[in-house]
Amino acid sequence: MPHVITQACCGDASCVYACPVNCIHPTPDEPDFGIAEMLYIDPSTCVDCGACVSACPVGAIVPGHRLPETAARFADVNAGHYGEPATDEARFPVRAEWRLPMAPITKPARLGGAAPGELRVAIVGSGPSAMYAADELLKHREVKVSVFERLSQPFGLARFGVAPDHESTRSVANLFDEIARHPNITIALNTEIGRDITLDELRRTHHAVLWAGGAPTDRPLAIPGVDLEGVQSATSVVGWYNGHPDFAYSAPDLGTERAVVIGNGNVALDVARIFTADPERLATTSIDQTALAALRGSSIREVVVVARRGPEHAAFTLPELIGLADGPAHVWVDPSELVGVDPDAIDDPTVAAKVSLLHEISQREKPTEPFIRLSFGYTPLEVVGDGRATGVKFVKTGTDQESVIDAGLVLTAVGYRGRAVPGLPFDEAKGTVAHVEGRIVEAGEPIAGLYVTGWIKRGPSGFIGTNKTDSGETVKHLLADAEAGVLPHPGSAAVPV
Ligand code: NAP
């Protein structure tokens, strides 16, 4: 039986390169790679060799015969992704042109005649995009990488953003640990750029500086009442239960029976799952112990995750919905909110599968245990309350029908946002550093020796592994600039490497 990719798929595409028969799609060269919610194994071409299993950094690939019951749905998701008929031509219309060389062997580039370790690259941040960039750079013995991390522990969102019950996904830290053990990399912890060392100092001492500082703030939700007590961002809760030092004082008030989460991306699902999980199960994870103690005393019985658009536009991904539906969580959808949304009328197979699963969930008994209610089509108008939140007023999207959901805790989960970096050109509209394919630009011109990657480059979207391709693009340009001799020399902006 062929192999199957499951929920933890991080999208870093290591499996694609390891596969000897090119049966994993979309590949980074295929157009839907950037928007795919996971990668898929084509069972009709998989030869069951297991090369992908060894390559996957998060243990997301399982031989079909060992697929646990809770992941059984992924066999169909993999097989059905490209639909019938199952010919290559039908599934991958221009596949022959896109086909990657199998297990490509690239000749190590010699960088502009530099000696081993001579090309010094500073990376700011140590999250997934930083570590994937370091990994690419360290393939060249001429490069020495210095990573600068503000916190006392490395790996950013891989440590402080991934939910504690997503243990497979968290295991990507093992890959980053391995990268960090390379002899040509150092990681300076507790080191903040602008406080402990300036950007100018970094530029003076390195040939290139690669900014990988992420998108550390939340998108604001501009409705009345968001400043009331009992309202906070979902990301502050994520930081709190993951022991992020910035969020040690962000404990949510769990002494209420209902919480409302505004927005239905994967962050919303993460928080809703943790709030309704059995604390005994959470106790077996890496959850912060203070958070665990608070969750043990929680009064929350229902978390309502509210989207302003319909189920066909849900921001959560199919793998996460499957994990919710078939895992230990209790989840429910009011069938009346799905009326008229027909999965068979939806072309996109991922969206159709999501809607179909939502219908299935809506046919379940409404849970009696603490549960998650997925709600669709309500635009938030204001958080109501007098000093403290007591609920959220919504309008049914596209109508003037208003209603209030009572809740003592309101979480905004409307996405992350990048923060301007002093000294780097910033695109306020996008919340990203201005760049062209990773080269930081001012007035359209690249600034020699300055690069960017990750969420502060492309915006807060995608999964941990998405950063591999993103950082690969930035590093490719950095190395091309080294090769072309246009990187500034440390100590003198004019002398090339
Ligand atoms: P997200 O996926 O961008 O979702 C944002 C949600 O907020 C959407 O439902 C959006 O609705 C809603 N929203 C935005 N503005 C709003 C407004 N003014 N009023 C009401 N709703 C509003 O953001 P996220 O959940 O923070 O996730 C960020 C990224 O991290 C995503 O790529 C996500 O997949 C990834 N992530 C992945 C995992 C995982 O794989 N397990 C876990 C966490 C995060 P509209 O769609 O209508 O705009």
Residue 462 CA: which ligand 1 atom is closest? 32
Residue 157 domain boundaries: 119-216+418-483
Ligand 1 centroid–CA 235 distance in Å is 11
Q: Output the domain CATH number for residue 351.
A: 3.50.50.60
Instruction: Determine the pLDDT at residue 83.
Output: 54
Tokens of 407: 């809740």
Looking at the fold, whether 238 and 383 belong to one and the same domain comes out as yes
Phi and psi at 70, nearest 5°, equal: -65, -15
Together in a domain, 397 and 456: no
Last residue of a domain, one of 415, 449, 464: 415
What is the pTM for the complete model shown?
A: 0.91
Q: In terms of Cα–Cα distance, which of 288, 59, 37 is closest to 159?
A: 288
Query: Are 211 and 296 in a shared domain?
Result: no
Index of the ligand 1 atom closest to the CA of residue 265: 25
- Among 398, 415, 432, the domain-final residue is 415
What CATH number does residue 58 fall under? 3.30.70.20
Q: Are residues 186 and 243 in the same domain?
A: no
Answer yes or no: is 108 within a domain: no
Long-range contacts, 243-252 (Cβ 8 Å, 24+): 243/160, 243/288, 243/291, 244/151, 244/160, 245/151, 245/152, 248/290, 251/290, 251/291, 251/294, 252/409, 252/411
Query: Are 255 and 391 in a shared domain?
Result: yes
The pair of three-digit structure tokens given for residue 3, joined into one six-digit string? 């192999």
Task: From the CA of 264, give the closest atom in ligand 1.
Answer: 9
Kindly state whether residue 496 falls inside one of the protein's structural domains. Answer: no
Query: Is 391 in the same domain as 427?
Result: no
Distance 381 CA to ligand 1 centre (A): 18
In a domain, 489, yes or no: no
Q: Are residues 424 and 411 in the same domain?
A: no
d(CA 265, ligand 1 centre) in Å? 3
Distance from C-alpha of 45 to C-alpha of 489, rounded to nearest angstrom = 50
- Same domain for 85 and 198: no
235 and 201 housed in the same domain: no
Report residue 445 CA to chain centroid gap.
Answer: 30
Q: Are 204 and 236 within one domain?
A: no
Total domain count, the chain: 3
Considering the domain architecture, whether residues 366 and 312 belong to the same structural domain is answered as yes
Ranges of residues in the chain with a pLDDT under 50 are 85-98, 101, 493-497
Ligand 1 midpoint to CA 104 (Å):
35
Is residue 434 in some structural domain?
yes
Cβ neighbours for 1, distance < 8 A, ≥ 6 positions apart: 48, 63, 64, 65
Residues with CB under 6 Å of ligand 1 are 221, 262-268, 270, 307-309, 313, 315, 317, 320, 380, 413-416, 460-463
Ligand 1, atom 30, lies closest to the CA of 461
Closest residue by CA, ligand 1 atom 25: 265
263: in domain: yes
- Same-domain status, 168 and 263: no
- The Cα–Cα gap between 180 and 131 comes to 8
pLDDT score for 497: 40
